[in-house]
Structure 1
Amino acid sequence: MSSKATLIGNPIPLSLHCHYHLEGNGTPWVFIHGLLGNRHDWQHVLRSLPPECNWLCLDLPGHGGSDKLTLTEGKGFTHTADLIASCLNQLGITQCHLIGYSLGGRIAMFFAKQYPQYIASLVLESAHPGLVSEAEKAARLSHDQAWAQRFSHQPLHQVLTSWYQQAVFRDLTQQQQNRLCQLRQSNQGSAIANMLDATSLGRQPNLTPSLQATPAPIHYLVADSDTKFSTIARQLAQQVPNLKLHRFTEAGHNIHWAKPLEYSQILQQLLSK
């Protein structure tokens, strides 16, 4: 696995920290992690890819090697999309298969709206296309800002313990929750707070219309046990003719963490067509 492209002191400075393997002419797969994650979240998926596959794993602002990046107030999605576009451009990537999980999926949808010319296909894992009513958006923004305050001011281990007790992570065993809390201890609470507020679902536009207008293939990956996002996935499949739904069993909200081998195999089937 190549380890290149740091923000400072690198021969090839990029807008975002990342790991990548780019050789030959194959269309690269670009992976975007979720909140609290980083580029290493995809390592078990990458191990199952054929050696000729090109890939790029980004660190979002506030995460991993990009943790010193602060998003412009009120322009979190636009700023992040611009940073991703700059990174792709710097690496000479003109088209990619864009794969995003949860927050990363929401950013991927927004990126596809802003920069459709880069999208060969779009793969969304457990990602919300956006709320419709202003009341829902206001309630969600208040909810996310409360969490952001906790990340900013409380001990990180304490906030993480509460975070993974949310309903969306109910499939996790106590041991798995503890493991994730350990993995996420390297984050900076204030950096996570900035990203959480700046890219809150309450600030996100409803991206369903832009998905409907996307000419590239769209795939939505969801686990049957993830009740909330299974419902979202079914609704999207009805609203977006170009979207194909793919279900997983024995997994929860984070499918690539629970079943990396099957996840990799599905991606290879989808993106080789």
Structure 2
Amino acid sequence: ENICEDIAGILHQLNISRCFVLGYSMGGRVATAFAATFPKRVRGLILVSSSPGLEQADIRESRVAADNRLADWIEEEGLVPFVDYWENLALFASQKVLSPEMKRRIRSERLSQNSHGLAM
């Protein structure tokens, strides 16, 4: 709710009455919540790799536990092992065909993050 209120406040400050809202992954959940909370402010909704969330409590709890384990691992092992792991997820398999320069730039951006921030 706070994020939706913040977005509405920003749009108000910018004098934007209606807009298209795009959300990727967790941002898609925020975009969905914003559209449901402020439907008159939304012209269209674009969701990428997103879902409204996990409906069953036991599945949500399992996901939270897995996320917490990953967060602990990131803080214990550091950024380089995490980026190595992340880059080898099936989700990013299509990036294997990118040019060496593009792969270097993407990796550099990933490595510019903060372990604690990612864990949070």
TM-score by length of 1: 0.38
Aligned length: 117
Q: CA deviation at 1:121?
A: 0.5
Q: CA deviation at 1:179?
A: 4.1
Give the Cα separation in 2 of the matches to 1:166 and 1:116: 36
For the residue of structure 1 that corresponds to 2:17, the secondary structure is coil
Structure with more of its chain in helix, by fraction: 2
TM-score by length of 2: 0.79
Within the candidate set 183, 190, 200, 2:116 is matched to 190
Within the candidate set 170, 179, 196, 2:93 is matched to 170
Within the candidate set 68, 71, 76, 1:148 is matched to 71
- Name the residue aligned to 2:38: 115
Q: CA deviation at 1:178?
A: 5.1
Give the Cα separation in 2 of the matches to 1:117 and 1:145: 37
- Aligned AA (1:182): S
> Equivalent pairs: percent with the same residue?
29
Give the Cα separation in 2 of the matches to 1:153 and 1:112: 38
User: Which residues of 2 match residues 16-165 of structure 1 at below 5 A?
Assistant: 78-165=1-88
- Name the residue aligned to 2:106: 180
Q: CA deviation at 1:90?
A: 1.6
- Aligned AA (1:79): N
Q: 1:92 to 1:159 in 2, by over 3 A?
A: same
Contact 1:161 1:181 in 2 (8 A): no
Q: CA deviation at 1:120?
A: 0.7
Contact 1:81 1:107 in 2 (8 A): yes
For the residue of structure 2 that corresponds to 1:110, the secondary structure is helix
Which sections of structure 2, spanning at least 5 residues, go unmatched?
Answer: none
Q: CA deviation at 1:84?
A: 1.9
Give the Cα separation in 1 of the matches to 2:58 and 2:49: 23
Contact 1:94 1:118 in 2 (8 A): yes
Q: 1:83 to 1:192 in 2, by over 3 A?
A: farther
Give the Cα separation in 2 of the matches to 1:178 and 1:161: 13
Q: 1:177 to 1:158 in 2, by over 3 A?
A: farther
Give the Cα separation in 2 of the matches to 1:79 and 1:151: 27
